Amino acid sequence: MPKNDFLWWRDGVIYQIYPRSFADSNGNGIGDLPGIIEHLDYLNNGTPDSLGVDAIWLSPVYPSPMHDFGYDVSNYHDIHPDFGTLEDFGRLVEEAHKRGIRIVMDWVMNHSSHEHAWFVESRSSRDNPKRDWYIWHDGGGPGKPPNNWQAVFGGSSWTWDEATGQYYLHLFLPEQPDLNWRNPEIHEALFDELHFWLDRGVDGFRLDVASAYYKDAELRNNPFRLGLRPYDRQHHIHDWNQPETHGVIRDLRKLLDQYPERMAVGEVSRGHIVEYYGNGQDEFHLNFNFDFLHQSWDPRGFQRMVQQWETGLPPGAWPCYVLSNHDVTRHYSRYAAGRWSDARAKVAATMLLTLRGTPFLYYGEEIGMRQGRIPHAQIQDPPGKRYWPLYKGRDGCRTPMQWNDWPNAGFTTGSPWLPVNADHPLVNVAAESQDPNSVLSFYRRLIWLRKATPALQRGSYTSLIGQPVGQLAYLRQTEDQAVLVCLNFFSRPATVEFDPAMLPTLGWRVLLSSVSREDDRVLGSRIELAPFEACILGGV
């Protein structure tokens, strides 16, 4: 494959930064854009001493009253002062691009903040020209909302507005009113805002809640089903995944296609992911597959999901994989197993970075960051406050990045917005950089190997184990390169016997292993794996 064939969002590795928690440059306890700029060399300085990622996705940095920590945008074309200024943003783009790092912005256009000027106008009177930019409706009788829809963060999706005597719709918090995509002015306004960032050199967007833009035109009630929370006690067939939504996504794709190498990745409902690829070329470039976030430590489950993905996508569509993000428990903790926890994290990383699809990393996973324990009094996340102790919210996966063993892990000189994990004296970038066996050293080697190995980026995928019990093994192949990935999910040594007819060669050399191997050559169709060994072999 020619070297210049590299397409960053297909062949590269994307790293999600939760800006509030990455690096604080001014001591106010909140991470910011200058803090990210200071750490760009950590992310990629062009050498294997750095992580080597090809793009960063920033969770929202726009002005916002922060009811949902930025996922409630009050101005789509500026930067929240907590994070810096537009000048800082320009510098970030420039400095990142110098290092070959692309910038992906979070784009929240299902809803805005209730403090957005559009909503302030919309709620000011029933005949305001922007009234119809949001979804307003009369109640279904005294004290009764228009229908039975439930908000993701709890309660009815409708909030009564005393001043104008109608309800407005919000699929999340009342502070996040849903925009009315049935009004073409909304379409125009939000696409204008996208130009603002495209013209500033942004390379891609992560489309928040992209499967909910349109709601049922008649606002029909959702049918009942069994479930624990009221939200789960209905089939969300009328508030999510309406066919008209695909029109917006096709328009977005057309807009992005006017610029070179721009990308959109969709956050869409589980069970509907394939639909948002359209014909493979006309909707999102990528859609998150959240199945892994719900998968226990069982190779059969992972194998099943990969197989579904491999067979279910339309031709030309490209998969992507993720193990952690800002909404779920960190996977290091989900898969923790006492003294084997680091070993499991390395197996998980190898799988994530060698499957056929774009890997998304979440800040801190490369050092094995654990889920933070947040005392009740310090919970910040709205659903955490509402449902504690049943559900403790998402703060635990958003704790400050652990750079070193200083107080507050080198994240801030002030008082951090969320407590720093107590393990930071041991689990941190500086310490792990000194240790060749650390999770961080392993991620670095893995990413740089991937970078140098076209088969791991673009190669075909062939599973070599039909019904895995304890191991996964698969081939990644291009015309002139074969790579074999073997993952032992258990604490017992294992021998994997392959059908020689399935292998392109019987001579392999170990390119990378998560344990130290005495012999880097493997001959024949049997491979011995140490407990929790992740091993990548190249055909010779």
Which residues lie near ligand GLC (CB under 6 A)? Answer: 68, 71, 108, 172, 208-209, 267, 326-327
The phi, psi pair for 319, rounded to 5°, reads -75, 165
Q: Which is nearer to ligand GLC, 322 or 367 (CB)?
A: 322
| Structural contact between residues 64 and 72, judged by C-beta atoms closer than 8 angstroms | yes
Minimum CB separation from ligand GLC for residue 169, in Å? 14
| Structural contact between residues 185 and 156, judged by C-beta atoms closer than 8 angstroms | no
| Structural contact between residues 511 and 540, judged by C-beta atoms closer than 8 angstroms | no
d(CA 533, CA 67): 43
Q: Which is nearer to ligand GLC, 71 or 335 (CB)?
A: 71
Amino acid at 489: F
Minimum CB separation from ligand GLC for residue 531, in Å? 36
Task: State the number of CA atoms in the 13 A half-sphere of 98 facing the CB.
Answer: 10
Minimum CB separation from ligand GLC for residue 267, in Å? 6
Minimum CB separation from ligand GLC for residue 108, in Å? 6
d(CA 323, CA 348): 8
d(CA 379, CA 384): 7
Amino acid at 198: L
Helix (H) or strand (E) holding 341: helix 341-354
Minimum CB separation from ligand GLC for residue 283, in Å? 19
Q: Which residues of 437-464 are buried (b: 16+ CB within 10 A; e: fewer)?
A: ebbbbbbbbbbbbbbebbbbbbbebbeb
Q: Scanning the structure block, which residue is given the tokens 């109608």?
A: 166
| Cβ contacts of 6 within 8 Å, gap of 6 or more | 12, 457
Minimum CB separation from ligand GLC for residue 19, in Å? 13
Q: Which is nearer to ligand GLC, 51 or 151 (CB)?
A: 151
| Structural contact between residues 132 and 123, judged by C-beta atoms closer than 8 angstroms | no
Q: What 3-state DSSP class applies to 475? A: strand
Q: What 3-state DSSP class applies to 99? A: coil
- Position with the least CB separation from ligand GLC: 71
| Pairing status of strand 263-266 against strand 204-207 | parallel
Nearest to 92 by CA among 169, 48, 32: 32
The phi, psi pair for 477, rounded to 5°, reads -135, 135
The DSSP call for residue 126 is T
Minimum CB separation from ligand GLC for residue 294, in Å? 15
d(CA 504, CA 474): 12
Q: Is the dihedral angle over the CA atoms 477, 523, 354, 444 positive or is it negative?
A: negative
- How far lies 85's CA from each of 39, 62, 81, in Å? 18, 10, 6
Positions marked active-site? 208, 267
Q: Which is nearer to ligand GLC, 401 or 484 (CB)?
A: 401
Q: Which is nearer to ligand GLC, 31 or 454 (CB)?
A: 31
Minimum CB separation from ligand GLC for residue 414, in Å? 25
Q: Which is nearer to ligand GLC, 232 or 261 (CB)?
A: 232
Q: Which is nearer to ligand GLC, 398 or 476 (CB)?
A: 398
Q: What 3-state DSSP class applies to 525? A: coil
Q: Which is nearer to ligand GLC, 42 or 362 (CB)?
A: 362
